[in-house]
Chain A
Amino acid sequence: MKDTVISVENISKQYRLGAIGTGSLRQDLQVFWKKNILRQDPAFFKEVHAADHIWALDHVSFDVKQGEAVGIIGANGSGKSTLLKIISRIVQPTSGTVRGRGKISSILEVGTGFHYELSGRENIYMSGYTLGMQKQEIQKKFDEIVAFSGIEKFLDTPVKRYSSGMYVRLAFAVAAHLEPDILIVDEVLAVGDADFQKKCMGKMQSSSATDGRTILFVSHNLQAVENLCNRAIWLNKGKIADMGHTGAVVRSYLASTKTDLTGSHWEDPQTAPGNEFVRMKRITARAAGNEPFITVKTPVIIEAEMYCFVHDGDLNVNIELLSPSGESIFNIGCHSIKAEKAILALQVTIPADLLNNTSYGISLTVVKNYSQVLHEFYNCLSFEVEDVREGMYYYGVWPGLIRPAIDALFYVKDSF
C-alpha cells in the first residue's frame, strides 16, 4: 500500500459577500463602535451576517496517495479552485486541516511571476523562482525549457513583444519543468493550441506514471481528466458528491448535469406552442438503452407528441437536424398519415457514431398534402452529445458538424 501524501480533513471555507469589512474604514469603525462601545447589535450587521455568507467548501475530507493523479470536477462555483488554493496555502480554510508530505508546487494560472517588460530569459528565472524552483534546478533545465517552448530566437526579447501563443508556450514550459512531489494544476489546458496541449498532457502523464508524482488536476475538459487521472472527486456546492474511479465519477457527474435539459412538455392543448392547426405536446431527446446521457457512441431517440386540430388531408413531418449555429445538417421525412383531431406521436432514432460532441437543434415542420406548411417548430429542441474517446491521445475539440464512424485504410503498401 502506498503512503498517503495529502490528508484533507473536514475543510470548510466561508466567504463573505458584499462590501462589509472589505473597503471602508468608516463602516468597520461604526460596527465596532456600536457593538463594543454602545453594546448594541447593529441591525444591518446582523442581516449581512445571515445572508451574505457563502460556504465555498463544506466539510470536505479525502486522502491522496503517493503517485496518484486525482481529478477534481464540478460545475462553476462548486469549490474546486478554492480547494486547490487551500491545499496550495494561498487561502486559509475557515476550519479543518490539511496535512501532507513533500514539496508542493501549484500552477493555477499560466505565467505566474511573468513580467511583460522582462526578456524571455529573465522571465524563465523569475517565474521559476516564484513557483518555488531553486537556482541549480532552473540552470539545469534551462535548455530543456527553451527547447520545449520553441522560442530560442526570442530569448532576449521582452515578452511584451511576444505573440500570445509564444507567451503561453514559454510560460507553460517553465511550469511543466517543475518537479515537486505534489503538483497542483488548475484549468491551464484551456489555453494554447491543440498541439501544445497534447505536449503538456503527455508531460504530465509521464510525470505521474513514471516519476511517481502526485497530481491534483482541475479541468472542465472531462476528456483530459479521464485520460490523466485514475481517481476523481466530484464537488457539488462545496460538498463531495462522489469520489472514486474516474470513469464512474465522470459519468455520474454528467448524468446529473443532463437531466431535464433535453425535453419539454405542455399540458394545455389551447396554449401549447404552435397554431390553430397543430400544437406541441411533448418533445424529448434521450440516449437509447439505459444510458444516462447522450454520447457519440449512443443512438439518440427523439420523440415528439403533437395536438392535431386538422380533420382532413394527409399529414407528414420533416425532421431537420441543426448545427450549433443553426445551419441545417440533414433533413429527413416520414411517411404520411390521415389527419384527425388526436394526439400524434413521432419517433426518430439517430444512429450511434454519427453525431459529434457538440449541441444540436431539432426543427419539426408539419406539412399537409405534401405542399401546405401547417407550422414549423423551429429549433424546438436542443440536446448535447458528450464525447467518448477511449485510448486516444488527442484532447482538442474534434472538428466537424458530424463524426460518422467511417474506417480509413492506412497501411504499408510496399517498399521502395
Chain B
Amino acid sequence: MKQPLEKNWDWEISSETSNWSWDLKSLLSYRHLLASLVRKEFLLNYQQTILGPGWILVQPLLTLVTYVLVFGMLIRIPTGEGVPPVLFYLSGIVLWNFFNDSFGTTSRTFREYIHIFTKVYFPRIIIPLATISTQFMRFLVQLGLLLLILLYYIFFRGFVIHWNWALVGAPLAVAGVGLISLGMGLIFSVLTAKYRDIVNIVDVGIRLLFFATPVVYPLALVREELRWIVKLNPLTPLFELFRLGVLGQGTVQTGDLVYSFGFMLITFLVSVYMFNKQGSKLIDVV
C-alpha cells in the first residue's frame, strides 16, 4: 500500500509494491498481534510437557554436557588459557543457539504461515519479528544461566576475569548475530518458498557454518594459514567479541568487526527489501 496521489483517499492498492515504506504507524497498530504471537510460541512449546519452560535451560545444559564430554575430554580441543571449558562452551552454545533458532524459524515464515497469509492481511514482517523476539527472550534466559554459572566460577572457583571495553561490545555482538540471523532468515524464507530445493541446502549449510564458527574452539587456536576461512564467516568476529566481553578472552580486530557489521547492515537492508518486494507476490506461488 502506498500513499495515494489524490488527497481524498486513505489507501491505494496497485500492482507495484512500494520498496521501503514500512508504514510504522500500521506496524505499531499490530504490536498486540506480535505480542500474542510470542505468547503463543511459549504456550505451544511448553504446554503438555513435564519440565515446561524449564526446557529453555535444560536444552543448553544437555548440549553443554555433550560438548564437555566430546570436544573437551574425548577430542581434547583446547579452549584457551584460564577459561574453564564449561564457561567457554556454554557461552558459545548460548550465542549459537540464538543464531541457529532465529535463522531456522524466520526462514520458515512463508511455509508455516501461508494459510494465514492467504486469508487475511497484516504487515507480513510481523511474523519474523515475532519469531525473532521469541528467540531473543529465550536467549536472555539462557544468558542468565551463563551469568549465574560465571558468578559461581568467580566466587567459588577463583576464576579471575579482566573485563575491559569489550564488555560494551558483548551486547553489540548479540545485536549483530540477531540481525544477521533475521536478515538471512528473511532472505531464505523468500527463497525456500519459491524454490523448495533450497531447504536441503540450508540444513547442510547451517551444519557446516557451525564448524566454521568459533563455537567449540577459540579463533586463536586455528592455524594461521587456515584462519582466513573462519574469518570469512561474518559470525566469527561477533562470537569472539561476545566471549571477550563476557569471559575476557577472544581475538578481535577492528577490521574484522567492520566486516561483520558491514555484512549485517547490507544483509538486513537487502533482506527487508526482498521480503517486502517479494512477499505479496509469493502468495500466488506458494
Contact = CB atoms under 8 A, between A and B. Distances in A.
A100 B11 contact: yes
A88 interface: yes
A98 B11 CA distance: 8
Contacts of A130: 33, 116, 120, 122
B117 interface: yes
B227 to A, nearest CB: 33
- Chain A contact-residue range equals 35 or more
B235 to A, nearest CB: 25
B119 A98 contact: no
B23 to A, nearest CB: 12
A109 B119 contact: yes
Contact of B197 (A22, A24, A100, A115): A24
A88 B120 contact: yes
Interface string B176-209: 0000000000000000001111100000000000
B29 interface: yes
Given A100-B10, A102-B10, A126 B40 contact: yes
B128 to A, nearest CB: 16
A106 B197 contact: no
Nearest to B34: A129
Given A15-B284, A22-B285, A88-B120, A117 B15 contact: no
B283 to A, nearest CB: 5
Given A87-B13, A96-B15, A21 B29 contact: no
A93 B36 CA distance: 31
Contacts of B1: 89
A134 B120 contact: no
Nearest to A90: B121
Interface string B119-136: 111100000000000000
Nearest to A126: B36
B49 interface: no
Contact of A106 (B32, B33, B120): B120
Contacts of B211: none
A158 B122 CA distance: 25
Contacts of A113: 116, 120
A93 B4 CA distance: 16
B12 interface: yes
Given A23-B196, A108-B119, A130-B120, A91 B284 contact: yes
A90 B283 contact: yes
A148 interface: no
B283 A28 contact: no
A26 interface: yes
A234 interface: no
Interface in A207-252: none
Interface in B102-119: 116-119
A101 B197 contact: no
Nearest to A114: B116
B254 interface: no
Contacts of B281: 92
Contacts of A301: none
Nearest to A7: B9
Interface in A129-181: 129-132, 134-135
A26 B197 contact: yes
A97 B116 contact: no
Contact of B11 (A15, A25, A95, A99): A99
Nearest to B9: A99
A303 interface: no
A118 interface: yes
Contacts of A7: 9
Interface in A10-26: 15-16, 21-26
A135 B30 CA distance: 10
B280 to A, nearest CB: 5
Contacts of A118: 40, 43-44
B9 A25 contact: no
A122 interface: yes
B253 interface: no
Interface in A65-120: 85-102, 106, 108-109, 112-113, 115, 117-118
Nearest to A11: B13
A95 B10 CA distance: 20
A253 interface: no
B195 A89 contact: no
Nearest to A136: B32
Interface string B1-28: 1001010111111110100000000000
B4 A99 contact: yes
B9 A100 contact: yes
A293 B11 CA distance: 42
Which of B30, B116, B195, B281 counts the most chain A CB atoms within 10 A? B195
Nearest to A113: B116
Given A102-B10, A112-B119, A117-B44, 4 more contacts: A25-B195, A91-B283, A93-B13, A132-B30
> Which 6 A-B residue pairings sit nearest by Cβ, starting from the closest?
A25-B195, A129-B33, A89-B121, A99-B9, A98-B13, A97-B14
Interface of B: 1, 4, 6, 8-15, 17, 29-30, 32-33, 36-37, 39-40, 43-44, 47, 116-122, 194-198, 280-281, 283-285
